[in-house]
Amino acid sequence: MTGLTEPLTLPCGAILPNRIAKAAMTEGMATPDGRPTAALERLYGLWSDGGAGLLIGGNLVIDHDHLERPGNVVIDSAPDAQMMAALTRWAKAATRGGNHFWAQISHSGRQTPAVVNRHPKSASDVKLALPGGQFGQPEPLTLDEIADLVRRWAVAARACQDAGFTGVQVHAAHGYLMSQFLSPLSNHRTDEYGGGLENRARLLLEVIGAIRAAVGPGFPVSVKLNSADFQKGGFDFEDSLTAAGWLEAAGVDLIEISGGSYEQPKLLGIEGMEESAAQNVAPSTLAREAYFVDFALAMQACVTVPLMVTGGFRSRAAMEQALAGGAADVIGLGRPMCLMTDAPKRLLEGAKQLPRYEDDRGLLPGWLGFLRRFQLVKAVDGFAGIYWFYQQLWLLGRDGRADEGLSVFSALRTLEARNKAIMKARG
């Protein structure tokens, strides 16, 4: 029976020392011009010491004008000596425990905050259906711009390989640019990158091919893929199964199954602004602690590429059940790693349960909890709780310790001030 301590040999021949991964979480700790910092080194050194077989970095973006948030690491061209030195120090700290460290390479597209870019590039000119003016009106990418993005993904992957990263993950989920191309809701193109799924997946497959050509056959290349967007008329589970088969044929070494977008943030374990449109998934998922287990189990019947499942896992029993039942080959941990950096080591040594730090981490006090029945309030409250975890990562990077007693309001104020400072420094 496969357990957490078992190594995993990937199709490229690389070996993960165990089945626990620190999933990608945005850090926001780079310099204003996108260079890794000592805080990132400290944070990832702690995680490397924590026992996970794989660490995945959060949103290393390929365009300064399309950040996911202020403070992203950016590689949008061949790095200079200073950038390479910073990347190398980061990779060295993040692999000091003998684990893998993969860069999650991303482009935010229309999910670029308006404070960064009021007219970001996307598959089409479909604006995010969110209130508040946080995101601007996107402009469709030209064919020349798409070709340039394919090149940038490959340049970033090769730079990470040269710096000592042990793999890369292409972010094709959560509503970011690659996901915008995959979804018919945000992709209204009439050229070779729009229409049927084969065309909508063209950018993703071209990027995988360019990366593989740049890094060679023995370097892990993975993809984070939505099981579904959970939006009516969007990228659905049948699309995801088909895309997974194409990715396997393209030589991908691991697919991480996730789901949702900013409009329907299933990835956060919360509901969004509209009714969810989940399909072809067993009702038992709703009662489980892991969000995407049933999707992954159905996908395993169609592909042989290893799958990673992230979202909601807290008990060792559920993790080992997913591994033994064939629903996952790697278990991803996110929020527990924001406070308990050695959570993987504890699990590997026999711990039965991780804390659920996300309980009561929203803006609303308990006596106002009834307001969460309104979708808009629930979504805003849920995102506010996420900012609390962002601040924990920043504290780990700055001080080497988290603060479970931190208030959500304090985290929001600090994050806002830090973002403003970064944007002012960017000019």
What residues pair up with 106 in beta bridges, in sequence order? 61
Residue type, 117: N
The answer to whether 53 touches 100, Cβ cutoff 8 Å, is yes
Q: How far apart (Å, rounded) are the C-alpha atoms in residues 23 and 285? A: 20
**Residues in contact with 47: Cβ distance below 8 Å, sequence separation at least 6, in sequence order:** 22, 55, 94, 337, 341
Mean pLDDT, rounded, of the chain: 88
For tokens 């039942």, the residue is: 325
**In the chain, what are the domain boundaries?**
8-361
Query: Looking at the chain, how many residues does it have?
Result: 427
> What local confidence, expressed as pLDDT, does residue 373 receive?
55
CATH class for the region spanning 8-361? alpha beta
Q: What would the pLDDT profile of 376-385 be if each residue is shown by its tens digit?
A: 555 555 566 7
pLDDT class of 76 with cuts at 50, 70, 90: very high
pTM strictly above 0.85: yes
Q: What is the DSSP string of 120-148?
A: -EESSS-----SSS-B---EEPPHHHHHH
State mean pLDDT over 232-246.
Answer: 88
Helices (H), 19-167: 38-49, 81-94, 143-163
Query: Is the confidence at residue 267, as pLDDT, over 90?
Result: no
pLDDT class of 65 with cuts at 50, 70, 90: very high
DSSP 3-state of 315: strand
pLDDT class of 271 with cuts at 50, 70, 90: very low
Query: Is the confidence at residue 139, as pLDDT, over 60?
Result: yes
| 110 phi/psi in degrees, rounded to 5 | -70, -10
